[in-house]
Amino acid sequence: MVRRPTRAGHAPGPANARRAPAVLVALCLFLLSGCGPLGEVKGDSGGSTAPEPTTIDVGIMPSVDVAPLHLAMREGYFERAGLRVEPRTISGGADGIPLLNNGSLDITFSNWVTFFRAQQREGVELRAVSDGYQADTGTLLLMHMPGGPVSSPSDLAGEKIAVNTRSNITELTTSVTLKTHGLQPSDVEFVVMDFSEMPAALQRGDVAAAAMIEPFASRANRLGAETLADTAKGPTTGMPIAGYASTRQWVERHRDAAARFQRVMARAQAEVGKDRGKVEDLLPQYTEIDPSTAALVNIGSYPTTLDASRLERVVELMRSHGVLPSGDVDVESMLFEAPPKK
């Protein structure tokens, strides 16, 4: 939730007239001890005291997608914009939606499929405040253990596939991959578990495959798992994956905070997008992978602006695969655009 500093004041009335001299004395002492001309409050160093920053609770996952947000926190970009971001870990994008609704979160990171489904099917009025991540080769992978029951996606009929939540971007791209190999999503059983639990589930044989993102896929690879299919190829090449959104009500009440958040994220997205080394440096700080694994992680791209035509690709794919069975999503109306900075 946005938390702003509160100020209380009390103007003296007639009943306090006899206390006026004491008030004047106290005021003079205050002016001598800390106030300069025109009411400028000074600190010990003689500089002006900045107002307390606005605090924003943001739901995030420990994935490569959110590296720019961690960069912005580490480098003080949010603080210089008058914001204090409090990261709250969520296990999947779908978990963030109810937390937005009940006010536990102000902004949440999630995949676009989850955002669009919530907007269309759950009646949640969302506003996207920043793009987050776009697929590239190796960023969305279907992993399996060699020597297991499958050696090709076409072998997955009747098998279990792990996904972190249902009806999200990883399940959608996996479903597209299954169809290109002659299967239907109904031919497999999707099992929900955290990304961090998937490598062990593969090793135990609890699931035949796992739909994974980075850095979890690279960590699973270090534990012996191999790629069964790259689900970000063909119809899903360059697919928008995730971003940050809030409710319409929150954005309307806090337009300035939303605008500052958007500007900071655009800067951080651009910096991370130009320097892979920043991602490798950040990952061990907020995930459970070591620097050597971070160097192997497949990284997508970090868009700096919200583009309705690009995001429409997700809606079209959802519609063609039955994820939006009725109605439609007006992507343009969901995008928050910060006014030009004065």
pLDDT (0 to 100) of residue 52 = 64
Instruction: Give the integer Cα–Cα distance in Å for 69 and 87.
Output: 9
The answer, yes or no, to whether residue 36 has pLDDT greater than 80, is: no
Band (pLDDT 50/70/90 cuts) for residue 340 is: confident
Band (pLDDT 50/70/90 cuts) for residue 15 is: very low
> By the 8 A CB rule, do 143 and 197 touch?
no
The answer, yes or no, to whether residue 43 has pLDDT greater than 70, is: no
**Residue whose structure tokens are 């994220």:** 265
Band (pLDDT 50/70/90 cuts) for residue 9 is: very low
Q: Which fold has domain 54-135+238-334?
A: D-Maltodextrin-Binding Protein; domain 2 (3.40.190)
Q: Which residue has the higher pLDDT, 157 or 32?
A: 157
Q: Percentage of the chain surpassing pLDDT 70?
A: 84
pLDDT, tens digit (0-9, with 9 covering 90-100), for 97-142: 999 999 999 999 999 999 999 998 777 899 999 999 999 999 999 9
Domain 54-135+238-334 and domain 140-236 have a common topology:
yes
Q: Where are the domains of the chain?
A: 54-135+238-334, 140-236
Residue 190's CB: how many other CB atoms inside 10 A? 18
Whether domain 140-236 has CATH 3.40.190.10: yes
